[in-house]
Amino acid sequence: TYTVLVVGASWPTKCWPDGHFAMLGDWLYNHGVIPVLVGSGPVETQKAAEIAAKMDIPPIDLVGKLNFKQLAYLFQQSAAVVGGDTGPTHLAVGIGAKTVMLMGPTYPCRTGPYGQMENLLVVDRDCRECMKRVCPLGHDCMAVIKPEQVEEKLKALVPALNAVTI
């Protein structure tokens, strides 16, 4: 069993911190679920390397290694997908994969996980939905969403994650 983690996005303000992904990845491994990283490009390749370096056991890193059809198939076969407001996460939602979407600077009512809004986590800040690619206040917006919040959403989607940890 595996869960796909979409590690990047086109805006820095839409990206969940590497350390948060690493903590989630370790939690998944401790529950018998393999974390698989996806994305594309040099920035996301570096992000995946930094996530792996922070984990107890490195995840499977497929960043930059899949074409569109392969990515869709990976999502279809996964236990769940976790990612921000970005193309691959929308693809996962669109093909019906169980998806936890993390949102901060964009509007959930416009680009949230259609048909899976109960799986949405939105930054708890007054300035959320600012539509800024760079935060004028210097916040790491997405850091407000904690790995434990994602874990709770995943437990609701993947019953096996409610078992005793390894």
- Hunting for tokens 């790995």 — which residue is that? 147
Single pTM value for the model: 0.92
Query: Which among 141, 54, 77, 148 has a CA at the least distance from the CA of 103?
Result: 141
The model's pLDDT over 22-43, given as tens digits with 9 standing for 90+, comes to 999 999 999 999 999 999 999 9
| Cβ-based neighbours of 20, under 8 Å, separated by 6 or more | 142, 143, 145, 146, 147, 150
- Ordered alpha helix ranges (H), the chain: 18-30, 41-54, 68-77, 87-94, 108-111, 147-157
Q: What is the pLDDT of residue 57?
A: 96
Q: What is the pLDDT of residue 134?
A: 75
Q: Which fold has domain 2-162?
A: Rossmann fold (3.40.50)
| Cβ-based neighbours of 65, under 8 Å, separated by 6 or more | none
Domain extents in the chain: 2-162
Q: What is the pLDDT of residue 131?
A: 63
pLDDT < 50 positions in the chain: none
Q: What is the pLDDT of residue 126?
A: 73
Task: Identify residue 106 by its one-letter amino acid code.
Answer: T
